[in-house]
Amino acid sequence: MNDPFYITTPIYYVNDKPHIGHAYTTILADVLTRFNRGIGKDTFFLTGLDEHGQKVQQAAKRLGMSPKEHCDAMAPRFTDLWRKLHISNDYFIRTTDDRHKKVVKKVLEVVMERGDIYQSEYEGLYSISEERFITEKEAENGLYRDIKKIKEKNYFFKMSKYQNQLIDHIKTNSKFIQPNHRKNEILGFLKNPLNDLCISRPKSRLNWGIELPFDHNYVTYVWFDALINYITAVGYGIDNRAFHKRWPASYHLIGKDILTTHAVYWPTMLMSAGIELPESIFAHGWWLMGESKMSKTLGNVVDPMDLIDDYGVDPVRYYLMREMVLGQDANFTIESFIQRYNSDLANDFGNLLSRVTTLIHKNYDGKIPSPGVLQDQELSIKSNSEALIADVTNMIEGMRINEAIEKIMQFIRNVNKYMEKNAPWKMVKEDKANAGRILYTATESLRIGAVLLFPVMPNRVSVLLDALRSKNLNYSWGGLNQGAILKKHEPLFPRIK
Identity of the residue, 128 or 374, whose beta carbon is nearer to ligand MSP in the bound complex: 128
**Considering the complex, what minimum distance in angstroms separates the CB of residue 154 from ligand MSP?**
21
Stretch that binds ligand MSP, among 18-26, 130-138, 144-152, 398-406 (CB under 6 A): 18-26
Q: Are 86 and 30 in contact (CB under 8 A)?
A: yes
Position with the least CB separation from ligand MSP: 255
Site string (32-61) toward ligand MSP, x via CB under 6 A: ------------------x-----------
CA angle, 405 as apex, 402 and 411 as ends, to 5°? 140
Binding flag, residue 386, ligand MSP (CB under 6 A): no
3-class DSSP state for residue 288? strand
| Residue 254 or 468 having the CB closest to ligand MSP | 254
257 touches ligand MSP by CB under 6 A? yes
Q: How far is the CB of 333 from ligand MSP (least distance, A)?
A: 14
Question: Does 22 contact ligand MSP by CB under 6 A?
Answer: yes
**Residue placing its CB nearer to ligand MSP in the complex, 90 or 152:** 90
Toward ligand MSP, which CB reaches closer, 51 or 403? 51
Q: How far apart are CA 235 and CA 242, in angstroms?
A: 6
Judged by CB under 6 A, does residue 303 bind ligand MSP? no
- Point out which residues pair with 291 in neighbouring strands: none
147 binds ligand MSP (CB under 6 A): no
215-223 long-range Cβ contacts below 8 angstroms, 24+ apart: 215/155, 218/154, 218/155, 219/52, 220/52, 220/104, 220/108, 221/131, 221/132, 221/197, 222/50, 222/52, 222/53, 222/131, 223/131, 223/132, 223/261, 223/265
- Residue 23 found at the interface with ligand MSP (CB under 6 A): no
Nearest distance from C-beta of residue 276 to ligand MSP, angstroms: 18
Burial 346-382 (b: 16+ CB within 10 A, else e): bbbbbbbbebbbebbeebbeebbbebeeeeeebeebb
**Is residue 259 a contact point for ligand MSP (CB under 6 A)?**
no
269 counts as binding ligand MSP under rule CB under 6 A: no
Q: How many CA atoms lie within 13 A of 328 on its CB side?
A: 11
Q: CB–CB of 57/38 below 8 Å?
A: no
Task: Report if residue 255 touches ligand MSP, rule: CB under 6 A.
Answer: yes
Q: Are 456 and 24 in contact (CB under 8 A)?
A: no
Sort residue 277 into left (φ over 0), alpha (ψ -120 to 50) or beta.
Answer: beta
Maximum pairwise Cα distance, the chain: 91
Under rule CB under 6 A, residue 242 binds ligand MSP: no
N- to C-terminal Cα separation, the chain: 45
Q: How many residues at the interface with ligand MSP, by CB under 6 A? A: 21
Which of 251, 265, 287, 318 touches ligand MSP by CB under 6 A? 287
Smallest separation (angstroms) from ligand MSP to the CB of 354 = 35
CA–CA gap between residue 396 and residue 29 (Å, rounded): 12
Integer Cα distance of 66 and 71 in angstroms: 9
Q: Is 418 in the site for ligand MSP (CB under 6 A)?
A: no
From 8-16, 182-190, 430-438, 488-496, span contacting ligand MSP (CB under 6 A): 8-16
- Binding of residue 10 to ligand MSP (CB under 6 A): yes
Q: Should residue 236 be labelled a site residue for ligand MSP when binding is judged by CB under 6 A?
A: no
Check residue 293 for interaction with ligand MSP (CB under 6 A). Answer: yes
* Whether the Cβ atoms of residue 35 and residue 72 lie closer than 8 Å to each other: no
Distance CA 152, CA 133 (A): 11
CB of 288 to ligand MSP, least distance (A): 7
Residue of 5, 6, 7, 21 interacting with ligand MSP (CB under 6 A): 21
Least separation in angstroms between residue 112's CB and ligand MSP is 21
Kindly give the interhelix angle for 98-113 and 266-273, rounded to the nearest 10 degrees. Answer: 70
Report CA torsion sign: 412, 415, 420, 421.
Answer: positive
132 is an interface residue for ligand MSP by CB under 6 A: no
Q: Is 6 in the site for ligand MSP (CB under 6 A)?
A: no
Provide DSSP, 391-439. Answer: HHHHHHHTT-HHHHHHHHHHHHHHHHHHHHHH-HHHHHHH-HHHHHHHH
- Using the contact rule CB under 6 A, the part of the chain among 64-72, 140-148, 255-263, 406-414 near ligand MSP is 255-263
Stretch that binds ligand MSP, among 252-260, 334-342, 395-403, 458-466 (CB under 6 A): 252-260
* Residue closer to ligand MSP, measured from CB, 157 or 286: 286
Binding site for ligand MSP (CB under 6 A): 10-13, 16, 21-22, 24-25, 50, 226-227, 229, 254-255, 257-258, 286-287, 293-294
